[in-house]
Structure 1
Amino acid sequence: MPSTTTMKQSLATAVLAALPLATFAQGTTPPKVAAACNDVAIFMARGNDAPYHDGRTSPFIDATCGKFQAQGNSCDYMDIVFDATLGVEFCPTIQEGAVNGIRQITEYNAQCPDTLIVINGYSQGAMVSGALLSGGGEDACNVDSQTLGLDPTSQAGQAVKAALLWGDVKHTANQPYNVLDGADKQAWPRTGANLERLNRYSAVLRSYCAAGDPVCANGDVIAQHLNYFELYTEEASSWVVSKLTPLLVKASSSAVPSSSVAPAPSSTAIPEDSTTVVTSTETSTMEVPVTVTKGAVKPSTMISSYVPVTIPHKHYNATAPYNNFTMTVSSTVMTADKPYETTYLPVEESHAPATTKAPEYSAVAAACPPATIYETVTDIVTKYV
């Protein structure tokens, strides 16, 4: 008999597969994995079979960044890299996304330590986002039990100032960060140390779950899993802005006046493959431009202890740096090198039995009735047997 965990994994996969398909196949849009050192960076984890920057979740980016930009703060987003193709084995994609997400956030934070980070995950992506914060173990799908999640005391962990989970496969009832009428419901909850590690982020976390959502609340209203961003984007983006704005104001008030910034000498040639950043010291108010070669900055917290993700798939390229050469990678990442799936939904089972031939009728009846009567009887038998 299959284990309870295996049955729940299968149920989660079946429920996600039954949801309406995204407008475009997920493999057709490359992930966005690089951004400048803005005031705010949003890391996005999409839902099952959705393309990167899909139409369902992107309104959250637009609303949130729009509000920050209206304040004069810069904002951008990046995609957490994982395979969300319909039909791919579900649990390995969660480990893939969790490990990649930890690495992406850590490497970005090493280059942009002053940027405030927001994590936003929907459906399958919500489980990925939760896993990158909580790690593995205790009924946590196939996420390696040795992966402990992003350490909240690390430099990268401290940069995470808001995290939102929508229709989370692993939504757990009665947590202090739960919102909506599914707050006391669950389908496949986190347990033990896995839940404890997620709750380290309680102060910056929100988990949205509607009572009818079949994915997070074991409900039976599919629409409630699909309409989160239509209904709650305005409220959620305002919550994020309210969390981060005081921190941005504080950082701005402590910054050195712009008049003290020394421009780079015009005679200094900056290599094309370089980025100019401004640094300051405690002994001087003068800020000096420093040229840093891309990729030279390494994460302050090494993640070599994380077990490399291995998901067998003939179309994966284990050496491709996110399909994007704008950010140097320091460990293995696997992402599809081209679209290779044709997505489909299973045909709904008919409520009437399939047409069958009546059993045990010989090819030639011993006493054959008139043809018209025989055809009528055969028609009835064929339809209803």
Structure 2
Amino acid sequence: MKVTAAAAFSLVGFAAANPVDLAERQSCPKVYIFGARETTAPAGYGTAGGLVNQVKAAYSSSGAEAIVYPACGGQSSCGGASYDSSATQGTAAVVKAVTAYNQKCPDTQIVLIGYSQGGQIMDNALCGGAGSTLTGNALNAVKVGIFMGDPHYRSGQPYNVGTCTASGFAARPAGYSCSPASTSILKSYCDSTDPYCCNGNDANSHQQYVNKYGSQALAFIKSKLTA
């Protein structure tokens, strides 16, 4: 077979490329979702899974994974690990997972969805407060952060959604503002009846944010993605 000079140059260039790098880049989706479960929920997405699945359905070629962390609050089943320790470990897990994924797929748009303690660790990773925070290219790759029933909730934040005018049991301090993430990419959902992100007394309401606000959250996510 006769090979032209141009074709030969093309073949040489292809051969010089690392086949592993090529395969990884070709397998990178336009959208990737990280989900984090609530305290005591079994491994996986927990209640956040409802919204994770809505995003996956909206972007058929998207990928997703659950943040692996204790999700504990002092229960014996967790070996007595404290809530604060669990949240700190979870925050570090978010930063590690998102940073590693961004290094592998630098052009992929990332969505973070967290529920309850899962919302708190996503909040920490984007806005600081637990030692580990997303920075640089990994932070820039995150196009949306969704917190549902986040115990860090404090009224008055520009990204709050819902009826809560108080604060969660692990509320951000007075005068707080999110940094380093832009508040324009965030939504935090909390209603006044919730005893965890607010000061209500209806524990069942804490589990209703995907049912109540899922469509609204999905519309916001779509508005921030270019895929």
Task: In structure 2, give the amino acid aligned to 1:206.
Answer: K
Structure 1 residue 108: Cα displacement: 0.5
TM-score, normalisation: structure 2? 0.79
| Counterpart secondary structure, 2:182 | helix
Q: Deviations over 1:297-320 (max 9, x none)?
A: xxxxxxxxxxxxxxxxxxxxxxxx
Maintained 8 Å contact 1:210/1:217:
yes
Larger radius of gyration: 1
Maintained 8 Å contact 2:153/2:171:
yes
- Hey, what does 1:67 align to over in structure 2? 58
Q: Deviations over 1:260-307 (max 9, x none)?
A: xxxxxxxxxxxxxxxxxxxxxxxxxxxxxxxxxxxxxxxxxxxxxxxx
Q: Distance in 2 between matches of 1:44 and 1:112?
A: 18
Task: In structure 2, give the amino acid aligned to 1:117.
Answer: I
Alpha-carbon spacing, 1:181–1:197, altered in 2? closer, same or farther (3 Å): closer
For the aligned residue pairs, the C-alpha RMSD in angstroms reads 1.8
Residues 1-385 of structure 1 mapped to structure 2, 5 A cutoff? 36-54=27-45, 56-69=47-60, 74-85=61-72, 87=75, 88-136=81-129, 143-144=130-131, 147=132, 149-151=133-135, 154-182=136-164, 184-187=165-168, 188-191=170-173, 195-198=176-179, 200-244=181-225, 247-248=226-227
Structure 1: give runs of 5+ residues left out of the alignment: 1-35, 137-142, 249-385
Structure 1 residue 166: Cα displacement: 0.5
Q: Distance in 1 between matches of 2:33 and 2:216?
A: 17
Structure 1 residue 106: Cα displacement: 0.7
Alpha-carbon spacing, 1:150–1:158, altered in 2? closer, same or farther (3 Å): same
Q: Distance in 2 between matches of 1:115 and 1:185?
A: 36
Task: In structure 2, give the amino acid aligned to 1:178.
Answer: N
Q: Distance in 1 between matches of 2:157 and 2:72?
A: 30
Matched positions, count: 194
Structure 1 residue 55: Cα displacement: 5.3
Alpha-carbon spacing, 1:180–1:192, altered in 2? closer, same or farther (3 Å): closer
| Counterpart secondary structure, 1:63 | helix
* Structure holding more helix per residue: 2
Maintained 8 Å contact 2:119/2:147:
yes
Structure 1 residue 201: Cα displacement: 2.4
| Counterpart secondary structure, 2:112 | strand
